[in-house]
Amino acid sequence: MSSFNTIFQLPDFEALKAMQLFIKHHIEGLMIGLHQSPKSGFGIEFKEYRNYTPGDSLKQLDWKYFARTDHYMIKEAEMEKQHDFIFVLDNSLSMNFEYSKNSKFNWSRTLIAALAYIANNQFDKYYIFNQDDPPQGFEEFLYRLIHLETEQNIELKDLKPHSQINNKNTVFLFTDGYGEFSQLKSLLSDWSVASKEVMLIHLLFDNEENLDFEGQYFSFKDLESEAIVEINKNESKTEYVDRIAKWKAEIKQECVKNGIVYWQMNGKESFNKSIFQLLSHLNQSWV
């Protein structure tokens, strides 16, 4: 897997061009494979069915319906009104945690760039939450995204929506969820009220979820407080994995309660596979 960290370490102009090429290369090929999905982009939904007539495009045939009924039906689509896509990005220091040389923060920024590229091609508005004004075009959006940094003393409550948010928007919330659980619950609840659709992209890497590190003894440094914890993996792994599983289950339960789509970013898959899984999960959940 290529390292996103390398792109973000380049000088401004080089980083911008490298990210543009990376996103265009991966997303354009991916969208060809997704064009027959029930919701092939962010803003398309099917209005109604009608009988097939000679001359209709075969791309519009509902093959699943045909398999069930042996009858050809065409799905007519209409474009929803343009609306906003908001990317809420946790930039706390814990998002610097890495797996295979890619940090959670850089995974998030790269996925956001891909989603914004798709939205841009559909002429939808998109922006990063808590920035003063929307970007004027995709290049400016990427430029701002590349310049975002993690900061000290960032809490989950800092990501909560404000009163000016339009409740017809779609929100992608990128966070590892670390912090006071009461703040996470409040964050999910508030965004579910403020927005039409919300998807939580939970940055929980495979190595941290399963304590999958080589060796037996480790010294873990808290990226927020800089406290150091000594761990014997052989003695602690079972309890640790159980606690992580319980914590993740509680987050998923909160998402269900608030009508929020949950998707875990585990960091071990390729970018292509990850963005494909994200979009597929989104399409299945928001049909």
48 within domain boundaries: yes
Render pLDDT for 141-183 as a digit per residue (tens, 0 to 9): 999 999 999 999 999 999 999 766 666 789 999 999 999 999 9
Alpha carbon of residue 167 to chain centroid: 19
Q: Give the residue among 198, 188, 223 at the shortest CA–CA distance from 208.
A: 223
The verdict on residue 39 lying in a domain is no
Determine, yes or no, domain membership for 192: yes
Please report, for residues 40, 89, 94, 156, 158, the alpha-carbon distance to residue 153 in angstroms, rounded to integers and kept in the order given.
Answer: 39, 15, 11, 10, 10
Query: Please, which pLDDT band fits residue 52 given cuts at 50, 70 and 90?
Result: low
Verify that 49 and 18 share a domain, yes or no.
no
Secondary structure class of 200 (helix, strand, coil): strand
Element (H, E) at 65: helix 63-69
Q: Is residue 137 part of a domain?
A: yes
Mean pLDDT of 23-50: 60
In-domain check, residue 264: yes
Whether 38 is in a domain gets the answer no
Q: What is the pTM of this model?
A: 0.80
Residue 16 and residue 117 in one domain: yes
Give the tens place of pLDDT for each residue, 63-106.
666 666 766 667 665 545 556 899 999 999 999 999 989 999 99
Q: How far apart are CA 213 and CA 215, in angstroms?
A: 6
pLDDT averaged over every residue in the chain: 82
pLDDT for 44 equals: 46
Please give the residue range of the domain that contains residue 195.
4-32+82-285
Is there a single domain that holds both residue 61 and residue 127? no
Check whether residue 57 and residue 143 sit in a common domain: no
Residue type, 101: K
d(CA 281, CA 219): 36
Q: How many domains does the chain have?
A: 2
**CATH classification at residue 221:** 3.40.50
Give the separation between CA 217 and CA 232, rounded to whole angstroms: 5
Say whether both 54 and 96 belong to one domain.
Answer: no
